[in-house]
């Protein structure tokens, strides 16, 4: 009953702001940094969780560590390359390559009380958690203050 009473407040806070965060992040040598945080006007479109085996979990957190929102994305440091098979012309081959320096962009809701983003790497082969639940098999890559350099 309490959860049902709090849920409309969370939704209303996001809708009332009519804004979202546009985060430019970088993974370099396994370290995640925030290059830019920008508050953008408009509605955040729904985003599906990654289905990839190698993925990151992004979580918006309150100061006390409570998670307000999370999303799993494909690990941007793992790139898939396709090329024509030289031994079989007309057929494609692919390979996965881990890059040491990659920049990526994430859109997150702007929610009242959220102050940082936590980025975890989900262990390859870890089972998927139900929607809204936390994945136990993950490693913290970074916990970053969002509004230190936010622009509007």
pTM over 0.85: no
Paired strand residues for 55: 74
State how far the Cα of 47 lies from the Cα of 22, in Å rounded to an integer: 14
Phi, psi torsion values for 13, nearest 5 degrees? -60, -40
pLDDT in tens, the chain (152 residues): 333 333 333 333 444 568 999 999 999 998 999 999 999 999 999 999 988 888 999 999 999 999 999 999 999 999 989 999 999 999 999 998 999 999 999 999 998 899 999 999 998 766 655 544 555 588 999 999 987 655 55
What residue ranges do the domains of the chain occupy? 2-151
Where does residue 115 fall: left (phi above 0), alpha (psi -120 to 50 degrees), or beta otherwise? alpha
State how far the Cα of 20 lies from the Cα of 40, in Å rounded to an integer: 5
Paired strand residues for 36: 24
Sheet holding 114-122, edge to edge: 67-74, 55-62, 114-122, 138-145
């Amino acid at each position: 009953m309490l959860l049902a009473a709090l849920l409309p407040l969370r939704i209303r806070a996001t809708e009332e702001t009519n804004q979202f965060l546009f985060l430019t992040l970088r993974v370099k040598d396994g370290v995640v940094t925030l290059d830019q945080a920008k508050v953008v006007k408009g509605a955040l479109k729904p985003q599906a969780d990654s289905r990839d085996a190698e993925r990151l979990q992004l979580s918006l957190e309150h100061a006390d560590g409570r998670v307000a929102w999370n999303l799993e994305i494909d690990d941007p440091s793992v790139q898939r390359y396709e090329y024509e098979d030289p031994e079989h012309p007309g057929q494609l081959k692919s390979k996965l390559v881990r890059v040491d320096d990659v920049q990526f962009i994430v859109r997150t809701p702007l929610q009242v009380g959220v102050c940082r983003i936590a980025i975890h790497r989900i262990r390859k082969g870890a089972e998927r958690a139900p929607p809204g639940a936390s994945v136990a098999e993950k490693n913290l890559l970074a916990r970053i203050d969002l509004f230190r350099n936010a622009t509007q």
